[in-house]
Structures are given as C-alpha cells and as structure tokens.
Amino acid sequence: MNRLQFEKSPYLRQHMHNPVDWHPWGPGTLQLAREQGKPLLISIGYATCHWCHVMEKECFEDTEVAQLMNAHFVNVKVDREERPEVDDYYMDAVHLMGQGGGWPLNCVAMPDGRPIWGGTYLPKARWMDVLSQLVDLFLLKPENAEQYASEMHQTIARINQGVSTGSHSQVPNPASETIWVKQLMQSADRQSGGFGHAPKFPMPHLYQFLIRYLLHEAQDTVQEHLALSLDQMAAGGLHDVVGGGFSRYSTDGDWWVPHFEKMLYDNAQLLSLYSEGYALGRNPWYRLVAERIVGFLERELLGADGAFHSALDADSEGEEGRYYVWTYQDVVGKVGHLGANWAQILQLSKQGNWEQGKNIPRVDRTALRDNARNENDLLQVFEVLLKARNQRTRPLLDDKVITSWNALAVIGLIDAANYLNEPRYALLAANTLAHIAARLHHAPIGLLRLNHQNDSAWIPAYLEDYAYYIAALIKAFEHHQNRDYLLLARELLDTALQVFPMEGGPLLLASQAGTDIPVRKLHVHDNVMPSANAVMAENLFLLGHYFSQPAYMSRSQDMLQAAVGAYPGELSFFSYWARVHHLWSHPFFELVLTGPQAQDMAREIRSWLLPNKILVIAQDHDTLALTIGKAHATENRIYPCEFGVCHRALGSTQGLRAFIKEQGFRG
C-alpha cells in the first residue's frame, strides 16, 4: 500500500492499493518535489466520482503507467471535498488553458505548484502520451516550462486581484435585474426547460432568483419557463421518481439520462427550490417532489447522530446506474397487479428507453390522468418498486460529514418546514445544527471543514463552511426564534471577517489552509453551489438588519459592487449575487411581532413567499435594538420596520399582507 493508507478521506483510501506512489497534498509533499526537482502530478477527485473510478482502473492500477508516473513525477492525490481551495486553483488553470472542467481533474505543475498542463479523464494510451511529452518538456526545454508556469501563475493572480479591487458605482436597482433576466432568457430551452444544451445542471439558485424576480415583475414568458423547467426536471431521469432525490446532472438535454451519483448539496438546494416553487403557485406536484427529497435524505444520507453524509456513488457492481434502471418485464411484473398501464405512465418500453434494454422511469402526468390515476396511486407503485430496488446491491455511500453541505441541508429543511407547514422538518434541521455545534466546532481550532465516520479530520473550515453555516443559523433563528442561533451567527461572522481578510471586497476562500497553493484564491462566481462570498454578503445584509449594524451593511454593499463589476455576463455564474442585489434593490421588511398569537402569526408569515424580510418575536427584557420596548402581553401587533424605523403597528397578518402589496410585492 502507498502513503494514502494513512489518510481518512474515503477517496484517498480508494487509491491506497494503486502501484502509483501517491502522496497526500501538503507542505511536506511540495518540499519533496522541490528537493527532487521533479514536477508535481496532481490528480483531484472525490469518492463517488464515476470517471475517477474509470481512470483509476484504466491508468492508476496499471503497472506500466505507474512506472512512468513514479519515475518522473511526485504524484499527489487530492480529495476536492477536503481541500476545495486546491481544486479551485487548478480548476481555474484548466479553464484558462481553454478546457472544460470536471473530475478527475489532472494537472502537471512545477515543483512549487504552478501549473503548466491540465485536463480531465484520459484513457491509458492518451495519458501516457501526454505524460511522455511533459517529461520531454521538463528535461529538454525547462525554460519553456518555467515561462509558461510563470505566465499562468500571474494570470490567476491578476484575476483574483481584479475581483477583489473591482468597483461599481451603480446603485442597486431593479432595472439591472430585468437586463440580466433578458440576457438569460436568450439561452432558454423552450422545449425541455433549463438553459443551454447538454449536459444540464439543475442550478437551483438560478431558478430561486427567477422566483424572486417574479415577485415584482409580471413576466409571463419567464414564469412559463420557470414552470416548464421545474416540471421537466421533476418528471424523471434526473429526478429519481422511484426513491426521491436528484442526481448531479443530466447527460442529455431532456433531463432524462442522469449522471447517477447523488450529492447532498444538490438535494439540499433543490429542496429549497421546490419548496419555494410550491409557495409561489401551490402546485401540489412540487410539494410532492419536496417531500420525497426529504424522504431520500432521511433514508439514504441521514446518520444516527443527526448529520447528513455526503453522497451516493453512480456505480454499483461496477456499472453506472445499475441500481436505478429497470427492464420492462421487471416493472410490469412488480406493479401489474395494481392496474392501469403503468409502463405507459412511467414511459417504459420493451426495447428500453436508455440502452441495452434498460429503462429509466419518467412520469407522464398526462398519461397518469388519462388512465384515471392520481398521485396517491403513483406513490403506491413507487413503494412497490422501491421495496424491490432495496434488494439490490447499493451504491457506495461517502459517509463524510461536511459542514457547508449540512448547512445547506438545514436551509432546505427549514424552507420545507415553512412553505409546506411541516414542523418535523425543522426538528431535523435542529438536530443537524446540534451535530455541527458538537462535532465540528472545537476550540482552539474553531469551525472545522468535516469529519469522517466516528473520527474527526482536523481541517480548518473554509469560507464556504462559515458562509453556509451562518446562513443556516439565521434561517433557524427565524423559524425557532432561539436567540442562541442568532448570537452564534454574529460571532461566526465576526470570526470570518478576521480569518479570511481582504480589504473592502470579497473574502478569501481559505485561511492558513490556503498558504500552500501559489495564489490564495477568492470564490466569487457561482457554480452548482453558490459563491461563498455571495452568501456571506447576504449574511452581512441580514445580520446588519437584525443587529442594526451599519458596518455589516456597508461591507455587504461593497462586496456586491465588486461582484457586479466582475459580472461574467452569464446569470448562471452570478445568480446568488443577483439574489443579494434583489435584497438591496427592493423594499425590505424588518418584522417585529408581539402578543398572545405572535407564534401563530409568525408561522403564517413564514409560509408566505417573502424573501425580503427578517422576522423577530419581541421578548421581555430583549437586547435587540429592533425589539426593545415592543413586547406586549395582551395585544397582537406586527411592526413593519425599515432600518430600525417602524411604521404604525398592524393588528393582523391580513393587514401586513395589504401593506406588503402596497410596496410592490406581487406574491
């Protein structure tokens, strides 16, 4: 076994039997490369990555390949989920080289880590050819390698500095959002929903911004496309209709053929999206999708201690998707006794709707109605099929508990609790927060990135972990009204501003954990998960209102202006920042509730789709400036305030709804 046998990461341990002399990432490995004068070969992936498995089998388990790698390189394996700043840096390099990103992400770099070549999956012959050419470059033309590495390093550093010092004098206003949405709709897939072409990623925060946009703008085209996209994503394929939950992305343009791995972060965000979608139009299908996401999370990813594990592999028994696909005969044999033409409803064929006679179930809701069946009948079919599927060999579970991903799950669960009126979901969220507090927040290190089953990995948290965790605490406070959540959110915010310092603009991705890469990275653009800086700008805005802190508000606006100045021109890489922009450019409500029915009024208000608000129930002897002197034992009152200045007290939620509509909200 190689050195990876001493690591805790499931991904690194998958490679501990390779003949490649793998090293973990760290200062000692970089020092070894400098001492030996060898280039680094850095291979980045994660435990449930299908193409990582394929490349391992074809290349890293092959002794001929291993001999070439061991002779000429210091070989480094990186779990991108443990070390996101390493992944982020080399992903930037690959993009600058004009290539698409993905995993496994393979880079060859100078001994100090500056990249000169990068790519993703390559079969054995191509991999050995590329490595042989790079060996020749280092041996025969070292000055060319040094020049290219220097130019690449300077470009990445310049991009980072450009974002951090970017400025934009425009005051946030709704007109900008209309321009952004108009640009986005030019890439809309009018037939299958979503944007662009295959492969298609769900990008929940993009649709969540469109929902916020529609709360103010009557745009039928946007509203219809939002509904089309949510309907098509939920119809099946990408969405596992049998067991609930969503895969990472669709390999086709119709959301039918997924890349079968399931990630906690996708499902957490999609839970928020479909809960908000239900709140927007009360579509019962969206409610069902959200409920089944929770069912998937509880059944497949929830640990006994209240924390959620990270992911399920795409593969089982060495075959991608084997766990999830069906033959026509198998489905008919299992559910034929339930009547109706379930093969038609699930869009199955005898020849298979995918490959080699295999079917991926997808619900035709029109056929469901035509066969005089409803969602309850459908759920009975799913129950039978799920019971049968549970007898199969399950995909690998990556049991890492990642702080930021669990925070996203908390946010999704509380959104579902609010919009679906399911208090049990909020209790699940509270249990997850308790795990983070107990297992991932330790003195003197502070907040941690992750832990493994029954063991902690003492990796300091990244900005992403702080940002999402603070957002989860704010969301939990609004629901539970537990002041401890709010006070901890402020404490962590102040810590983050010190740990990830950057003058004025966005914050750094990593603290001391980022000192062993050539450039300390920012995390500004959104991807499948929102920019940590965008989430932090939102946290600053909300806590600025809760605690009447102008300094928080000012920093939030500075960060937003820097991001707008660096806007990449494509809303999918900017949509969470657009959400922050929406907070700044539309009326915002500080709602203080008091009286004997305050809890009931709060519950009703939380069920409204009203993102531009904070909500506090006043307490006796309160220390929050916003609520001081407003507690009342006998009269129900709602104070709508703005920057601590309150309008006249309203006596009912109906009065508040009328007040909000006067401010231009359509919801």
Model confidence over 290-345: pLDDT tens digits? 999 999 999 999 999 999 999 999 999 989 999 999 999 999 999 989 888 999 99
Is the per-residue pLDDT at 158 higher than 90?
no
Strands 613-617 and 589-594: parallel
Residue 125 has pLDDT above 60, yes or no: yes
Domain ranges of the chain: 3-165, 174-317+398-585, 324-391, 589-662
Query: Where does the pLDDT of residue 147 fall: very low under 50, low under 70, confident under 90, or very high at 90 and above?
Result: very high
pLDDT value, residue 340: 84
Confidence check: pLDDT of 116 > 90: yes
Mean pLDDT of 653-665: 91
Task: Give the pLDDT mean for 609-621.
Answer: 93
Let me know how long the chain is. 667
Residue 210: per-residue pLDDT: 97
pLDDT reported for residue 587: 93
- Quick one: average pLDDT of 51-80? 97
Query: Which pLDDT belongs to residue 140?
Result: 92
Partners of 22 in beta bridges:
75
Give the residue-averaged pLDDT of 388-393.
96
User: What would the CATH number be for the domain defined by 174-317+398-585?
Assistant: 1.50.10.10
Q: Is the pTM of this model over 0.85?
A: yes
Give tens-digit pLDDT for 537-596. Answer: 999 999 999 999 999 999 999 999 888 888 878 898 999 999 999 999 999 999 999 999
364 vs 142: CA distance, rounded Å: 60
Report the mean per-residue pLDDT for the chain: 92
Across-strand partners of 614? 590
Do the Cβ atoms of 192 and 254 come closer than 8 Å?
yes
pLDDT confidence tier of residue 195, bands split at 50, 70 and 90: very high
Q: Which tokens belong to 482?
A: 């537990």
The pLDDT, as a whole number, for residue 516 is 78
Residue 514 has pLDDT above 60, yes or no: no
Domain 3-165 has CATH 3.20.20.150: no
Q: Strand 22-24 relative to strand 74-79: parallel, antiparallel, unpaired?
A: parallel
Query: What distances in angstroms separate CA 271 from CA 20, 31, 296, 656, one per listed residue?
Result: 41, 44, 11, 27
Asked whether the predicted pLDDT for residue 189 surpasses 80, the reply is yes
85-120: b or e for each residue (b if 16 or more CB lie within 10 Å)?
bbbbbbbbbbeeeeeebbbbbbbbbbbebbbbbbbb
For 357-371, letters b (16+ CB in 10 Å) and e give ebbbbbbebebbeeb
Tell me if 48 sits within 8 A of 398, measured CB to CB: yes
Residue 421 CA to residue 187 CA, distance in Å, equals 35
Lowest mean pLDDT among 53-57, 125-129, 215-219, 239-243: 215-219
Let me know how many helices (H) and strands (E) the chain has, helices first: 25, 20
Could you tell me which residue, 260 or 625, shows the higher pLDDT? 260
